Every structure is written in structure tokens, then in C-alpha cells.
Structure 1
């Protein structure tokens, strides 16, 4: 009996060994890369990112493009070894040069993010890398290329090409690409306008893309492509705002301040104005300053109002708006004492950061924040 069990165990081990060897033989990846992947993912061995990085380096030096990408990615982001962005980018570029699609996309992205601000010509180089990765089916690269063609960023503006690449990426389920494609359908760029298709794509994207939620809120609020639906707009805007969309946060503040069709709730309005202000939204800052000055839905404080308005005036604003606000601020501050002006200046410094503005949450009525997390959501994503 024991001999039979031992024979069976040996047969199973032999089968597994043969299967493993066949897998190695058929795999497009080098043996070193497969060993590195096993250490990275903990497949058959304890997970060990440092060991994975060592094996990826060996495979990368032997010319494996996948290992070159993985080593570059780990080195750039400091996964399994210390951060070294320069060395990481060099390996990513090597992988890209050797035809690795992920390396081509990430090389383009890093050029656009890190280098384009210093040299606009880098945008063209980034777009070239996106094109190479897009032609190999990388959805993110297809989306970036579509966006570049729509805006003329690094390439000659071309709506037809924008529509072509956005369609390809959206077909792969990339939510941000579905949102981009919805915009192209709505504005009739590269395709005839199609409101129904716009809405279909936005609903597909909304669960994963906060911009789609915000756009659905705008369309429901204004009755664009659908019947006007204020409760629905409020739900979409709330979900987008909770995911950090600054404009959605400002619109919620406006709606709760007495906007059409929404019961007034000034505490909630100030909560969302404050959230948007923390993201440097100047209109939200201005609205918050008005409520601080009047004590509407927040503890009144002329000094805090002046400080917030000072910060808002440092942000991009239309000339006539800026001039009117500066005139109003100057008039208000003429009524303050030197000590009060010193306090305003100190508050201005504090409110110039998101963390500094956060102290104003304490000036809202109790329970406002908890209410903000649920108010306005009457149903799940359509």
C-alpha cells in the first residue's frame, strides 16, 4: 500500500515537473523573468520583491524587454529596492526601444509629466511613444493619444484621429476613454453629434470615472439630452464631489445655497465650498468668504472672510471679477485695526494650504460632515 502511494506521489511530481518544463519551453519569457515573476507574486516561493528585482535585473541585462520594463518600474517607484528614478527611466526607455508596449506607454507618460514643462518639444516625443504603444493595443496609450489629437497637444489637432483612438480604448472598457468618447459624440467631433450615445457611454464610465458622474450631473441639471432631473443631478454631483471633483463640489455648494430646485442647506453648502476651496477653487473661496462674513451656515468672522478672500484673489479670476472683489476687500479692511489686519495676514498664510483651510470645518454646525456624505444620494449609479 505504501509503495503504491509512493509510486503515485512520484508520478504526480514527475507530471508537475514535465508540465513546468513544457511551460518554460513554450513561454515567450526568459527563465530568469519567470523566476523573478514567481518571487514578485509569491508563486511557489515566498513573496520577495527584493529577490524579484535581482532576477529582473539579470534578465534585463540579458536583453529581455519584459524584464527591462519590470526592473525599470520597480526602480522608478521603489518597489523591492530603493527609489532611483533616473535608472528606472533608463530601463523603461530600453524596454520601449526593444518594443515593449508597457514601456513605450510609461516612457511617453513620464516624458509628458516630467519633461514637457521644461521643453514643449517633449510633448511631440511623448505622443510618438503613445502612438507606438497604442498600435500594440495599450488602452491607456490609446486614450492619451486620443486626448492629444483632440487638444493638439504634441500632434496636429485632428478630431477624426481623436475619435478613432478614443473608440479603440473605450472598446477595451477604459472608463476615462469612454468619458472622452462621450464628449466627442456630444460635441460632434470626428463623428456626427449623438446625445443618446453620449449618455450611454457616460453611464458605462460613471462607476469608475468621477468626471463622467459630473457630466451626468450637468446634463441632468440643465436637461441636456434628457429631461431635466434635479434630484438625479444632485445624486451625480454628490458622487463626483465625494471622489474629489472640485467643480462638482462647488456646484453642490451653489445648489445648497438656494439653487433652483434644491432645499436650502447653508451648512452643507459651506462644507462643499470648503472642500472645493481646499483644491484652490477660487469661486468656492469667494462663496465661502461671503458666508463667513454674513455668518450663513458657519460661525461669522469678518477676519476669516477677509483672509479667505485674499487667498482667492491670488488665483486665476476674470479681470472684472478680480477688480470688483479687490475693491470690496479694500473697503472691508479699511474698517479693521492694525492688530486685526495682522491677524488677517496670519490667517491668509494659513488658508493658503489645504491643511490650513481644514480648521474651518470646526466652524460648521455639528453633524454637517456626516450629513454631507449621504445627503443628495437618492439612488445608486444608473
Structure 2
């Protein structure tokens, strides 16, 4: 903010010295930051600015000594009261280059965030950050079309994280048709501006070759840079890469665990799920099913989409817990509702394993969800398995799914295509937390 120090003179012989530097935040001029002993001319007073410390809202005092060639120095003091807008507190994002608070993860955004950010946008229409935070709040509330509009407006006004978020929308098909190339273009643009989220997603795309020619070295470098900036998603990617050893990168399980533990310390629910898997397999740590179960349960409580499936497999196989197929079934269905295609596939498999007691329509239902949620085609067998079922269970599953829709959608093509389309529509209708992926 501009300090607007009112000096009753434009005499070039008058100068100012910083006598009392604020306890938090930074004083600066357009060409330099000021130190506790800095001096400035009368002409520079107009462009003197103060930037509060992120998250700080306590009053601060700035003191100056006004000097002239003749006469004693005169003191001047300013009291500042920086405030953090309620929208920032409700929907600010971690590591946002233009943010003013430590930020919240998507699962931490509350129900009142939309109202608070709408008020901020109305009060400060030129502040792009508030439009982006409104977009985050709307996304958490499941209002996808409104969220996309707010995020686009923020990007158009120069908010860097909003550029990344547009890439996310295209990558996941949230409110727009999924388009990996468009997503990558936004990710690359955000990464070029130093955004750690953009670095992570662009690095991931390059490392794995998602919609772009693979460049393992550049991808890994971007992920490491994002992790060094504190981005837990990059830590999770690196944890998975070093756990297994991928694309020519040598496995280093101790390093993998270090990345995941850093994520858990930052309360990242994905780190919890991944580290739990390491405790189950004993990769990089001593096997500890109880530690795995605790991490999976905490991640589930935070809304993580894949953790229910992780815990379900423990109950299905009786690993670290007493075998309980009913509990496994419940957890796989919870995973499906959160958008986990592997959880849906395992739920279908669980049904098919019942033999003569199997409800084939249920198996078809969860295979349809598997294909509908599998945007990267990571489970190609699901589509082939679905095709093997007869007309009767498919018709029953389709009828049930259509009955769950609140509004009709146009359907065409094979029964399998109709099943997948309706399953996707049923999932979207439930306003899932798609911002968690």
C-alpha cells in the first residue's frame, strides 16, 4: 500500500531517514527495498510503499526523521493497521505468489467462503486475487460453471495461480471438455512465471509424457524446484517416483519417504495416503500396518479420494486388520463417490468374485463408473470387462443409473457408451470435490 506521507514541502534540500522500521513487513521504493537506516529524498516520498508480512494483521509503526540543511531533525510517525480480508482467510491458497495468507488446502475450504469472497470482489473489483479465491470457493461448493468464470476473470487480470487453475480445469474435464494439450499450455505458462503449482503439473506432464513428448530430465527438475518451494503435490510425485523408480530414475526409497514425511508434516492428505502405502509394503520404512491404517483413516477424514480404496484393500485381504468384505465394499463405494476409478474397479471385482451370488447389474454399474472416471485410460481392462456382460444386467444397471439422474441427458451409441455417459453424469450431479485431484 502507498504510505501517502504528507510533507508540506517539495524542497530538494529536505531528506528523510528511516528512524523506526516496522516490526513486520517491508518498506520499499520502486527501485529498491529500504533498510532500517535508509534515507530518501522528498521526491521519493510519493512512491514510498509498505508491504505487510503474509498473514500479519497487527498494527505497525513507521518512524522517520525529516532533515534540512539548517535546523534540527524533526520526527514523523505513521501508524498502519494492515488487515486480512475474510475472503483471503476463507479461500486463500498455499504458495500463491500473489497471496497474502498461508492459505488453505481444498478440503479445508468452508461453506461460508463463497459469500465472503463475493463480498470481497464487490468491494475490490480490481483485485484479481479475490476473483481467483472466489473461484476456489465456488469449486469447493460444486458450482463449476460459476467457478470457471471467476477463475478466467482472475487470469485475464494477471493472477498467475488462476492461469494454472485453468489448466487444471482442462486436465480434469471440469466444466469443459477434457483437453490435455490446452491444460499443458496453461501449466507451462504458470510454470514460466514461477508458480510452484504450475511447475508441478507441467513437470509431471513432461516426466510422464502426458499430452507432450516426454522430457524426464526437465520434468524432474521442475518437480524438485516446486518441492523446494514447499509444494506438497510435488513432494508426492517425487515420493512415488523414488519409491518405484520410474522412467530411468533410480529408486531411492529413503529419499521417497523423506518427501512423503515432509508432506505429512504439512497436513497433506495425499502424502498420508502414499506414506501409508509405504508402511504397508515396507518400502523405505519398516512394515507397520497399524501406522498405515492410521494414515489412511486420517486421509479419509480429510476427504482424500484414494484413501478409502487403500483402507478397503486392507479389509478385503485381511492385512493388518480382521478380514471384513462388507467394510471393504463400503469403502470401495465411498472411493467411487469421491472419483477413484481404481476403487470403482475393485468394487466391481469384489462383486464378480461372489460367483453365483453376484449381482451382475452391480458389477456393470461400477465398471461403468470406472470407465467414466478413468480420464487417462489407466485401467483399459475395465472397458473390455464391461463389454463381456450380457444385455440383461446392462439394461438393469442403465435403468437404475438413469433413475438417479435429476434431469434427462441425450443418449446415443452402444449400451456401453450410454452406461459410461450416464455414470459420469450421476457422479457430476452429486457435486463431488473435483478440486481435490
CA 1:139–1:234: 2 relative to 1, 3 Å:
same
Q: Is 1:166 equivalent to 2:223 in the alignment?
A: yes
> Of 329, 333, 352, which residue of structure 2 is paired with 1:270?
329
Contact kept in structure 2, 1:93 and 1:107, CA below 8 Å = no
CA 1:350–1:288: 2 relative to 1, 3 Å:
farther
CA 1:292–1:211: 2 relative to 1, 3 Å:
farther
Contact kept in structure 1, 2:131 and 2:150, CA below 8 Å = yes
RMSD between aligned alpha carbons? 4.8
Work out the CA distance in 2 between the residues paired with 1:356 and 1:107. Answer: 21
Q: CA deviation at 1:265?
A: 2.8
CA 1:50–1:274: 2 relative to 1, 3 Å:
closer
Tell me what 1:239 maps to.
298
> Of 274, 288, 300, which residue of structure 2 is paired with 1:229?
288
Contact kept in structure 2, 1:256 and 1:266, CA below 8 Å = yes
Matches within 5 A, 1:1-382: 25-27=47-49, 40=85, 53=121, 56-57=124-125, 60=126, 67=127, 69-70=128-129, 72-73=131-132, 86=149, 89-90=152-153, 92-95=155-158, 101-102=160-161, 104-106=163-165, 108-109=167-168, 112=171, 117=177, 121-134=181-194, 138-153=195-210, 155-186=212-243, 187=245, 192-207=250-265, 208-278=267-337, 279=339, 281-288=344-351, 305-314=359-368, 315-316=370-371, 318=381, 322=385, 326=389, 347=400, 349=402, 353=426
Contact kept in structure 2, 1:77 and 1:85, CA below 8 Å = no
Tell me what 2:56 maps to.
none
| TM-score using structure 1 length | 0.58
CA 1:276–1:23: 2 relative to 1, 3 Å:
farther
Work out the CA distance in 2 between the residues paired with 1:235 and 1:170. Answer: 25
Secondary structure in 1 matching 2:193: helix
Deviation per residue, 1:254-303 (Å, 9 max, x gap): 32234345322344223213313434612213425766985xxxxxxx7x
Q: CA deviation at 1:118?
A: 6.3
Contact kept in structure 2, 1:277 and 1:285, CA below 8 Å = no
Give the structure with the larger strand fraction. 2
Q: CA deviation at 1:205?
A: 1.0
Work out the CA distance in 1 between the residues paired with 2:299 and 2:135. Answer: 31
Contact kept in structure 2, 1:101 and 1:133, CA below 8 Å = yes
Which piece of structure 1 moves more, 85-94 or 158-167?
85-94
Deviation per residue, 1:103-128 (Å, 9 max, x gap): 55445555656698465542442133
Work out the CA distance in 1 between the residues paired with 2:395 and 2:174. Answer: 39
Contact kept in structure 1, 2:151 and 2:166, CA below 8 Å = no
Work out the CA distance in 2 between the residues paired with 1:318 and 1:190. Answer: 26
| TM-score using structure 2 length | 0.52
Give the structure with the larger helix fraction. 1
Deviation per residue, 1:135-157 (Å, 9 max, x gap): xxx22222122212212235432
Work out the CA distance in 1 between the residues paired with 2:118 and 2:200. Answer: 33
Structure 2 stretches lacking a partner, 5+ long? 1-19, 21-26, 28-43, 52-81, 89-114, 139-144, 372-379, 405-422, 431-437
